[in-house]
Amino acid sequence: MFFFVYNILTFLLLIPVALFNIYRSIKRGWPLAMAERFGIVRKSDLAKIAGRPAIWLHAVSVGEVIAARPLLKALRSGYPNHAIVVSNTTETGKATATGFAEVDLCLYFPFDFLFSVRSILHAVKPRVIIIMETEIWPNFCREAAHRHIPLLLANGRISDRSFKRYLSFSWFFRPPLRCFSSVCMQSEVGSQRIIAIGARPETVRVTGNLKNDIPSHQVSESERGQLRTRYSIPEDCCVVTAGSTREGEDQYLISTFKELSAQIRNLFLVLVPRHPERTAEIAALLETAGVRYQKRTTLTAESSLQSGGVLLVDTVGEMMNLYALADVAFVGGSMVPIGGHNLLEPASVGVPCIFGTHMANFREIEALVLQYGAGIQIHSPEELTDSCRALITSAELRRILGQNGLKMMRDNGGATERHMESIARYL
């Protein structure tokens, strides 16, 4: 009965969903990709995976794609004769996944209309489907189960705020959750929560956080210098990379940078908005503040940026390089109620991070960073300035926090191996 009612409702939403997708794509400058969203895959794309059993991994956006990288590498190594298909919901997620050598084919995830789901599953014919984190669509889950395709939830997590919402709508999530063959959760708390929402207890396993398996290493001075040369950043600058910033944070960062650069020589800011379509908005803030900047897309081999300036990054897929070339990192989405972003990315390259208190989506990682002393949590714009000043003026403090981050990465790995044990049962 649930799926019958659900499909009636989705049919009524067909035109509104299509129109909204067109509007959002035009507004954000994304390709429409309507064919793939409705389950139609080009023959030229299907030819890339023809003749091989397919492993389909779905990762909504950039964060999930990066978290899935260790798993994708393990799948490619463990199953070299399989085709790896990655689907995404956002353009930035797809752009990031397309750059991974492990991936054979990138697609947009279909709308959850029954005909869309059936069409794309018939075209791809996956041997197994892996859903990153907690992306649950009723028709997709049910149709996979109906076709006897093992469905796995990887790196599952349910934040404090989300749990109340999921629990209130457990009647909606229980039927699709029952379609999963295996549910891999990041923590014991997460496993208890997903069982309460409706997952079958015998399918749930605690496997840890794949984000802890991001490859980590101490960036050498030579590597850092080469990266700075690539981006035309002076080697002798102290570089602050502000990654995945969200609306409401950029003005604080610009204000802090302007204040500190007036006091401290050779400062440089790399400003990386989570969504590149916000570039014009941030450029206007920089112009109002009288801070000189250059966009990433306008850099050429002849470009020569100067201390006191800003590199405004209007591209995707370069975040790890931009953290690696930095001396200090700020991780966005944490000074505004977004839920935070991944603190492990700067930690994995030995760069100390600064972050705010709005970390609802990354509570376990937040706790680890604070436990190991790998970063500084701030509570106000004033603390942002003070913490930046402390790190910028003390190479020893940066070294200690950076080493703490690398130790944290070494001590908390192993999630990829545990996920692979669950996946191996179905391949």
List the one residue out of 108, 138, 143 whose CA is nearest residue 126.
143
Please enumerate in sequence order all residues whose Cβ is within 8 A of that of 388, keeping only pairs 6 or more positions apart, or say none.
240, 256, 260, 328, 330, 354
In a domain, 121, yes or no: yes
So what's the pLDDT on residue 224? 96
Give 97-154 pLDDT, tens digit per residue: 998 999 999 999 999 999 999 999 999 999 999 999 988 999 999 999 999 999 999 9
* Same domain flag for 237 and 363: yes
Which of 36, 64, 143, 249 is an active site residue?
64
* Same domain flag for 182 and 292: no
Higher pLDDT, 345 or 7: 345
Give 293-344 pLDDT, tens digit per residue: 999 999 987 888 999 999 999 998 899 999 999 999 999 999 999 999 999 9
So what's the pLDDT on residue 317? 83
Confidence of residue 78 (pLDDT cuts 50, 70, 90): very high
Q: Across residues 195-215, what is the average pLDDT?
A: 94
Burial of 5 (0-12, 13-18, 19+ CB in 10 A): exposed
Q: How many domains does the chain have?
A: 2
* Same domain flag for 196 and 306: no
In a domain, 19, yes or no: no
Confidence of residue 361 (pLDDT cuts 50, 70, 90): confident
E strand or H helix at 295: strand 293-295
So what's the pLDDT on residue 30? 67
* Same domain flag for 263 and 174: no
Please enumerate in sequence order all residues whose Cβ is within 8 A of that of 341, keeping only pairs 6 or more positions apart, or say none.
63, 243, 244, 274, 331, 332, 333, 334, 362
CATH number at residue 316: 3.40.50.2000
CATH number at residue 107: 3.40.50.11720
* Same domain flag for 326 and 357: yes
Provide the 3-class DSSP secondary structure of residue 369: helix
Q: Across residues 161-178, what is the average pLDDT?
A: 92
Report the distance separating Cα 195 and Cα 106, nearest Å. 31
| Average per-residue pLDDT for the chain | 93
Contact 327, 240 (CB under 8 A): yes
77 phi-psi bin (left φ>0, alpha ψ -120 to 50, beta other) = alpha
Order of strands, sheet of 310-312, starting from the edge strand that comes earlier in the sequence: 293-295, 310-312, 267-273, 238-245, 328-331, 353-355, 375-377
* Same domain flag for 228 and 181: no
So what's the pLDDT on residue 424? 96
* Same domain flag for 193 and 230: no
Q: Across residues 23-47, what is the average pLDDT?
A: 83
pTM of this prediction?
0.76
Tell whether the model's pLDDT for residue 363 goes beyond 90.
no
In a domain, 28, yes or no: no
In a domain, 11, yes or no: no
Tell whether the model's pLDDT for residue 85 goes beyond 90.
yes
* Same domain flag for 194 and 292: no
Tell whether the model's pLDDT for residue 92 goes beyond 70.
yes
The helix/strand count (H/E) of the chain reads as 20, 14
In a domain, 245, yes or no: yes
User: Could you tell me whether strands 151-156 and 182-185 are parallel, antiparallel, or unpaired per DSSP bridges?
Assistant: parallel
Helices (H), 154-309: 160-168, 170-177, 188-197, 221-230, 250-263, 279-289
List the one residue out of 101, 53, 50 whose CA is nearest residue 77.
101
In a domain, 392, yes or no: yes
In a domain, 24, yes or no: no
Q: How many CA atoms lie within 13 A of 342 on its CB side?
A: 24
* Same domain flag for 264 and 379: yes
* Same domain flag for 175 and 233: no
* Same domain flag for 180 and 271: no
Our answer to whether residue 223 is catalytic in this structure is: no
Q: Across residues 253-273, what is the average pLDDT?
A: 96
What is the domain range of residue 255?
Answer: 221-411
E strand or H helix at 331: strand 328-331
Q: Across residues 396-421, what is the average pLDDT?
A: 96
Tell whether the model's pLDDT for residue 29 goes beyond 90.
no
Report the distance separating Cα 185 and Cα 134, nearest Å. 9
In a domain, 163, yes or no: yes
* Same domain flag for 420 and 402: no
Contact 160, 131 (CB under 8 A): no
Q: Across residues 172-192, what is the average pLDDT?
A: 95
Other CB atoms closer than 10 Å to residue 144's CB: what's the count? 24
Vertex 385, ends 383 and 389: CA angle to 5°?
115
